[in-house]
Structures are given as C-alpha cells and as structure tokens.
Chain A
C-alpha cells in the first residue's frame, strides 16, 4: 500500500473541482431553462385558452352593458373589465327570447377571472373561474363597425379588442407573454 503523492492529490482535486463545477453549471442552466420554458409554455396555454373563451363569449353576446350587479357587487365595463349580455338558452339549447345571461371578465390582482350570472330560467350554470393567475395587464378596447374601426363607449361597441399580458417569474428573471385578439358581437 502506498498513499497518493501530494501531486496526485492536487491533480485529483483539481479534476474533481472542475468536473463538479461543470456539473453544477449544467444543472443550474438546465434547471433555469426548464423553468423558463415551462413558464413560457404555461403562459402560452393560458393565453390561448383565455382569449379563445373571451372571443367566444363576445361573439355570442348582444351587447356590452354598462354594469351588472350581483350579490351586492357591481361589475362595470371599463378598460380592464367587460360585462357582456348574451341570450339565455333553455334545456334544449334554444334561445329564450328577451332573457339574458351576464358574463364578466375582469382582472383581480394578477388573476383573470370569469363569472357567469345566468337568468333563473336559463340552463347555463353559474360559474366563477380563474383563467390565469399571472396576468400583468389586461386592456379592453371598444370599437364600432366602421372600417377602420374607431374607439367608442363600451355600450356602443360592436367589436371588442382584448390585449392580455402574462408575466411569470422564471428563475432569476420574469417571462412576459403578450397576445391581442378581436371579436365582433354577432348578436348586436
């Protein structure tokens, strides 16, 4: 048996330190990349789903209404909140004349929330959902039917443009995803 020489030990330690540093760097970078990409993916999916849902609601609506009150809370259409009025449907999926359900999309801190307030005769179920928990900004623009469209008051809108910015911490930095979509009120 003979021990390592000092030189051998120094060489082995040096190699070990370099290998460990490389491994640590790879692991840190990989983890960072993983979190960044996961964050982008989540934001992208949220953004797609949220905008698709908002578009569908706008299309089915008769009008953007100034406000709607439920349970003591008044929801008012503005640049960060939209209140939509859509025809109620019966259990067979047919429209009930002169009866309406109300849908609200609004920003609650960093949450994009969706609430549905059905009429008592409507077959739609009351809903309170969160479409995204990492919203940085929500901007709604109310437009008329002119070409090119002009901005009008919420209640005069025949088209709505929605811009959604999601922001999520990914490692040391923040990932931001911005998407814009438009939809016409088909039942206007």
Chain B
C-alpha cells in the first residue's frame, strides 16, 4: 500500500490561510479606519480648542487694557491651547492660537488658527455713493458712472447720464410720529441679551400706536452696549392680546452693532420693506438678541416716568415659543417712529439717460429721456423705458417704494471720536502748510496754502472751517497701519483742485473727512443750485480725485468736473454742469482706530486656518 500524505490537512491549511488573511485584512482595515476617524475627531477638537482660545484671548486683551501677551499652555477639556499675541501695528494685534490633543508636549493632533483684533470701530460702507434726504442735483451734461441709492429726490438737467441702476427710496416725514425719551433721574438702563436675576432677557419689545395710517419708513432706538454683541434683528409685529404676535411679522431689519457705543444715542434702523400701519392700532418694535451673554449685551434706555401713553415695554425669553410668555416692564423704552408717504422722484431733463433699472415712486422726464432697463414706479411721465413709452413689458407700475438706507456712522460714533480728540489736547486756529496734526481739537479754523501735506494723527476735530489750497494732501500717519481715522469738521470745508485724503499707506487704511455741518440750517431745504431752497455746501471738493472718504450726513457736497472718489456719503450731492463723477465700490469693512477707551474686537475677514 502506498502511503498517502494528508491531502485534507493541506486543504484545511489553505482554508485557514484564506480565513486568516481575510480576518487580518479586515481587522487592519478597521484599525486604519478607527485611527483615521479618531484623527479627524481630534482635529475637530483641536480646532474647537483653538477657537475657544481665541475667544479667551480677546476677552483677556480687553480685560487687561491691551497688555495681555498670550499664554504658553492652558488645559481645557480633552486637550490644551496656547496663545501668541503679536502687534501688527499701533492698534492691531494678531492672535495665533494652537489647540492640542491631548497636550502640547506630546500632541497627537494640533490645529492652529489666527485672527486679527483691532482697537477700533468697524464701519461698513456698503455703497460707493450713498445720498440722504437731500438727494442729488445734476447740472446739464453731468454724468455719474455707477449705481446710485438716494434717500431723496434726484434732479437732473438736460443730457444727464447715470451708467447704472438708480434707487430713490420712499421719503420719510421729517418729524417722528411716535416717540419716547427720558430725562434726569427717570432714565434707567434696561439690560437685555443677558440673563439678569434669573430672567433670560433675549427678546424685548415696545408697543406703539401710530397717529396716522401710512407706511413706516424707519425707526430710531435709544441704545448702548457693553462688549461686542452681534447684530440683533429688529422686527415690527402686530399685537395679539397685549403682546407681539409671532405669526404676524410685518417687516424686519438689522441693527448694526457698530452704530451703538457705550454711551446712549438714538440709532436708526431701516427695514427690508416699508409696511403699512393703521392709525391708533397697537404694533410692537421687537428686538431679538442673538444670545444671552454675560460679557456682550445691550441696554435700552427706559423712562421710569412712563411719559409715553401709546404703549408699553415687555420682555420674553423666547418669542418663538409655542405660547410665548411676555412679561410687562415698568417704564417706556426710548424710541422714535418715522412714517413715510412723502413722494420722492427722479426728474431728468431733455435727452437724459439711465443705462440701468430705475426704482422710484415717481419718474418724470422730458423729451427724449430714456431708461434702458426696467422702471419700477407708482407714477411715470414723459419717459421712455427700453425704447418706448409705458406701458410695455419693462414698465412695472404699482411697485413699492425702495426702503431707505441707514448711514453707516452714528452720532454716538462721532461723539466717541470727538472725546478722543479732546483727550489729545486743544489748540486755537491753525494756519500753515506742511505739518503734523492730532490727535487734538482745534477750537477754530484750519487754513492751509497750496501744495501742502498735512500728516494727520486721527482723530482731528476742527470746530470751525477747513480751507485748503490746490493740491493739498491730508495723509493719515503711518502708525495707523491697516486702520482708518477721521477728521471731524463742524464748519464748512473748501478743498482746492487736486486735493486728496490719503490713508496710512497700508492697504485698507483710509482717511475720512467727516463734516457735521448742517446745510439745512436757517430753514433751507433741498433745492438745487443756489435756488431759494438751496443750502450752503458742507464740503466743496473742487476738481479732485479723492482716495479717502467724504462723509457729510447733514450737508451738501459740491463736486466739480472730473471729480472722482472712493466713497462718498452725504445728505445731498451736487454735480456742476458737465461734471463727471466716478466712484469705487463701497468698503464692506473699514476699521477706524479708537483711542484708549476703545476695546479690541475681531477684524472681519482675517480668520485663517494655519
């Protein structure tokens, strides 16, 4: 008999080998997946730790008045973080934070994030050209290259031209329809956006009754803030049994936190639409804070005398709850409501053209006026839309008036800057040429000759007039780095041809000429070109290419032929005959340097994962 080797055993070994290979492969795969998943989870944890470290760093910088220098390693949760602070320029710090899992000495995972913090006020100029109730006056043959958003009338002579879209917002009545304010000892703080004595005050509201049936154009609220709360949403709501009706929101808008300072001031809020309100009917102004935060929260001025009889204030922890609970507050919050209904218009002379869409309550034209896009209006006369008279498919009668826009700098911002200027010292009138000025208050006039260069350490406050010769330059001091600064002038400003306002030389830095001169003084209205209703110009910019910001919220800015600028915001803009106006797009985020009282806040757009 032939001895046979174990064939079955061989097959068993093969089978076992296959099974073993499979088991080991699957186990190894599971191990790889586990490691990858753990790493991904740890990476997220490390990023979260780094971001927590950023929050802590901002708080620490503000608590220590800017002397916080970072920390080597601080344990938190499953890991730790370290913070490095470096000075980018005089008022900007770069915070670099690394999160470690499980610790800095033997990290399995680490992630680094960086952000810039600046001791300044972030202001968003969303429009290159923003015009107030005074509107725009265009002489014969004047041209605006770009789109226009005006809160007032646009009036143009013959053959004027706008190479973009035109918006003329519905007009607001000049005086408040309803208002509440306090005085003396009756003024009390009402804190919200924070838990106070066990009350989670996330939502606060004030009711009011309009005296007339009309559209609501805008409101103003008397607020201040602590820390850096985020922009809350403001809603206009109907009333339901003495509380805001969560199912009847008429409109909403955003309160820009940058307009609110640590001192009370009325801050304007406009809405996405202008709702119609009925006379003697109760409505609510409701503010929803984004969070309850013990460091960053709001104050609404409360009048303990309850002098407003048309409504009352209430608070709630959740206005969207299935049955929201609103609790009455003793007093009346500071507010003003402005009704609309004032007809605004664009009126252009013979042969004028708008090469875009026009949105206005009333569009009036003359012979040969053409809108090449679409027209949205209530009334239109003598104007061709896309080549022919209305009605045609490009005419949209019955369109709602565009809502007004809020100017990006508040009175409270200006008060802050003036206080910083006063802290730098006060002098009398200044005459001269090349010099360095500020931060200071000039109680008088600033007079400069031709071809001068003035280095400005903002803020500079001139209580009188500024008069500058041709080709005079105002330049922000280089120590401002990437931040911006203002010159505030209470009187009139006359700039010669070729003048300029220049930033520090770093990208993102701008010098702003802020004129608080009121061109409507003495009852002057918003007429054009020296007519009986025309006021005196706040800023006469001559024939200049200005790379800074012109800002005159109550004044007229006169621009001569060939003027160009980066950003202009004014109550009224006047373009002389044949003048051409070119402007850049607005600055979405401009940070103005603050003085010692300013707090550090995150500079938008600077977050980086390193």
Contacts and interface: CB of A to CB of B under 8 A. Distances in A.
B605 interface: yes
Contacts of B321: none
Given A22-B15, A30-B19, A187 B604 contact: yes
Nearest to B506: A97
B185 interface: no
Interface string B5-24: 00110010011001101100
Contacts of A11: none
Contacts of B607: 59-60, 186-187
B8 A97 contact: no
B610 interface: yes
A1 to B, nearest CB: 8
Nearest to A95: B606
A148 to B, nearest CB: 9
Contact of A45 (B21, B33, B606, B610): B33
B26 A93 contact: no
Interface in A55-92: 56, 59-60, 62, 87, 89
B37 interface: yes
Contact of B508 (A38, A93, A98): A98
B30 interface: yes
B25 A27 contact: no
Nearest to A42: B29
B290 interface: yes
A38 B36 CA distance: 14
A59 B32 CA distance: 27
A2 B116 CA distance: 95
A60 B37 contact: no
B26 A34 contact: yes
B22 A52 contact: no
A31 B15 CA distance: 12
B37 A44 contact: yes
B605 A87 contact: yes
A33 B26 contact: yes
B507 A23 contact: no
Given A30-B18, A145-B290, A19 B8 contact: yes
B605 A62 contact: yes
A13 to B, nearest CB: 12
Interface string B499-534: 000000001100000000000000000000000000
A101 to B, nearest CB: 12
B36 A37 contact: no
Contacts of B26: 33-34, 37
B33 A41 contact: yes
B36 A44 contact: yes
Contacts of A188: 604
B22 A34 contact: yes
B228 interface: no
Chain B interface bracket (under 10, 10 to 19, 20 to 34, 35 or more): 20 to 34
Interface in B453-497: 482
Chain A interface bracket (under 10, 10 to 19, 20 to 34, 35 or more): 35 or more
B393 interface: no
B609 interface: yes
A186 B32 CA distance: 32
A97 B29 CA distance: 45
A9 interface: no
Nearest to B25: A34
Contacts of B8: 15, 19
A147 B607 CA distance: 23
A187 B607 CA distance: 6
Contacts of B25: 34, 37-38
B309 interface: no
A96 interface: yes
Given A23-B15, A27-B15, A97 B507 contact: yes
B43 interface: yes
Contacts of B175: none
Nearest to B114: A93
A33 to B, nearest CB: 6
Nearest to A55: B44
- Identify the interface centre among B1, B21, B25, B605: most chain A CB within 10 Å of its CB: B605
Majority SS at the chain B contact face: helix
Given A41-B29, A52-B43, A89 B608 contact: yes
Given A20-B11, A23-B15, A33-B26, A87 B606 contact: yes
Interface string B574-585: 000000000000
Contacts of A23: 11, 14-15, 18
Contacts of A98: 507-508
Interface in B553-610: 604-610
A30 B604 CA distance: 55
A145 to B, nearest CB: 7
- Identify the interface centre among A22, A37, A38: most chain B CB within 10 Å of its CB: A37
Contacts of A180: none
A27 B11 CA distance: 12
A48 interface: yes
A10 interface: no
A152 interface: no
Interface in A1-52: 2, 15-16, 19-20, 22-23, 26-27, 30-31, 33-34, 37-38, 40-41, 44-45, 48-49, 52
Nearest to A99: B507
A23 to B, nearest CB: 5
Contact of B18 (A26, A87, A187): A26
B33 A44 contact: yes
Given A19-B8, A30-B22, A34-B22, A41 B37 contact: no
B504 to A, nearest CB: 12
B40 interface: yes
23 contacts: A16-B7, A22-B15, A23-B11, A26-B19, A27-B18, A34-B25, A37-B25, A37-B29, A38-B25, A41-B33, A44-B36, A49-B40, A52-B44, A60-B609, A87-B605, A93-B608, A93-B610, A97-B507, A98-B507, A98-B508, A147-B290, A187-B604, A187-B606
Interface of B: 1, 7-8, 11, 14-15, 18-19, 21-22, 25-26, 29-30, 32-33, 36-37, 40, 43-44, 116, 290, 482, 507-508, 604-610
Given A59-B607, A62-B605, 16 more contacts: A2-B1, A20-B11, A27-B15, A34-B25, A37-B25, A37-B30, A41-B29, A87-B605, A87-B606, A96-B507, A97-B482, A98-B507, A145-B290, A147-B290, A187-B605, A187-B607
Interface of A: 2, 15-16, 19-20, 22-23, 26-27, 30-31, 33-34, 37-38, 40-41, 44-45, 48-49, 52, 56, 59-60, 62, 87, 89, 93, 95-98, 145, 147, 186-188
Pairs A-B, 4 closest by C-beta atoms: A30-B22, A186-B607, A97-B507, A97-B508
